[in-house]
Chains A and B, each alone.
Chain A
Amino acid sequence: MRWWPVFKKEMRLYFGSPVAYVVGTFFLVISGWFFSQILLFYNMSSMQAAMQPQMAQSLNPTEGILRPLFSNMAVVLLFFMPMVTMRLFAEEKRAGTLELLLTYPVRDGEILLGKFLAAGALYVLLLGLTLLYPGMVSYFARVEWGAVMTGYLGLLLLGGTFLAVGILLSSMTENQIVAGFATFGILLGLWVVGWGADFAGGTLRTVLQYVSITDHMDSFSKGVLDTKDVVYYVTAMAFALFLALRSLEAKRWKG
Chain B
Amino acid sequence: MIEVDRLTKHYGPVTAVQDVSFTVEKGTIVGFLGPNGAGKSTTMKILSCFMAASGGTARIAGFDVFSQSMEVRRRIGYLPENAPLYPDLPVAAYLDFVAEIKGVPRRARRGKVAEVMERCFITDMQRRLIGKLSKGYRQRVGLAQALLGDPEVLIMDEPTIGLDPKQIAEIRALIRSLAGQHTVILSTHILPEVSMVCDGVIIIHRGRIVAQGTQSELVEQVFPTSRVAIEVGAPAEAVEVALLGVPGVLRVAVQETRDGAASFVVEASRGHDVRGDLARLVTSRAWPLLELHQVGMSLEEVFIRVVAGEEAAESAESVETPTATAEVA
Contacts and interface: CB of A to CB of B under 8 A. Distances in A.
A4 B97 CA distance: 10
Nearest to B86: A97
Interface string B40-61: 0010010011111000000000
A105 B98 CA distance: 10
A236 to B, nearest CB: 29
22 contacts: A2-B101, A5-B100, A6-B101, A9-B86, A16-B89, A17-B88, A95-B84, A95-B86, A95-B87, A99-B50, A99-B84, A100-B80, A103-B48, A103-B73, A104-B73, A104-B102, A105-B73, A105-B103, A252-B51, A253-B51, A254-B11, A255-B42
A106 interface: yes
A99 B52 CA distance: 12
Interface residues of A, number: 25
Contacts of B73: 103-105
B272 interface: no
Contacts of A100: 78, 80, 84, 145
A232 to B, nearest CB: 34
B82 interface: yes
A8 B84 contact: no
The 3 closest A-B pairs by CB, nearest first: A96-B84, A5-B100, A105-B73
A106 B42 CA distance: 22
B76 interface: yes
Nearest to A102: B50
Nearest to A91: B86
A230 B51 CA distance: 38
Contacts of B81: 96
Interface residues of B, number: 31
Residue in A4, A96, A252, A255 with the greatest tally of chain B CB atoms within 10 Å: A255
A8 B50 contact: no
A157 B88 CA distance: 31
A48 B11 CA distance: 71
A255 B45 contact: yes
A209 to B, nearest CB: 42
Contact of B88 (A13, A96, A255): A13
Contacts of B270: none
A218 B11 CA distance: 48
Interface of A: 2, 4-6, 8-9, 12-13, 16-17, 95-97, 99-100, 102-107, 252-255
Contacts of A6: 101
B85 interface: yes
Contacts of A9: 86, 89, 97
A143 B238 CA distance: 116
Contacts of A12: 89, 93
Nearest to B16: A255
A12 B98 CA distance: 14
Contacts of B51: 252-253, 255
Where chain A touches its partner, the secondary structure class is: helix
Given A105-B73, A252-B50, A255-B42, 7 more contacts: A2-B101, A9-B97, A13-B86, A95-B86, A103-B48, A104-B101, A252-B52
B80 A99 contact: yes
A2 B104 CA distance: 11
Contacts of B84: 95-97, 99-100
Interface string B74-112: 101010111011111100010001101111000000000
A50 B318 CA distance: 87
A103 B86 contact: no
B70 interface: yes
A13 B89 contact: yes
B250 to A, nearest CB: 48
B123 to A, nearest CB: 21
A106 B98 CA distance: 11
Contact of B49 (A17, A103, A253, A254): A103
A2 B78 CA distance: 19
Nearest to A104: B101
Contacts of A107: 70
Contacts of A105: 70, 73-74, 101-103
Interface string B1-22: 0000000010100000000000
A103 B100 CA distance: 14
A104 B104 CA distance: 12
Contact of A253 (B52, B88, B93): B52
Given A6-B101, A96-B80, A103 B89 contact: no
B318 to A, nearest CB: 22
A187 to B, nearest CB: 27
A13 B81 CA distance: 23
A36 B78 CA distance: 55
Contacts of B52: 252-253
Nearest to A105: B73
A59 B125 CA distance: 63
Contacts of A96: 80-82, 84
Residue in B42, B89, B101 with the greatest tally of chain A CB atoms within 10 Å: B101
Contacts of B82: 96
Nearest to B45: A255
Given A103-B49, A103-B50, A105-B102, A5 B88 contact: no
B168 to A, nearest CB: 21
A75 B80 CA distance: 42
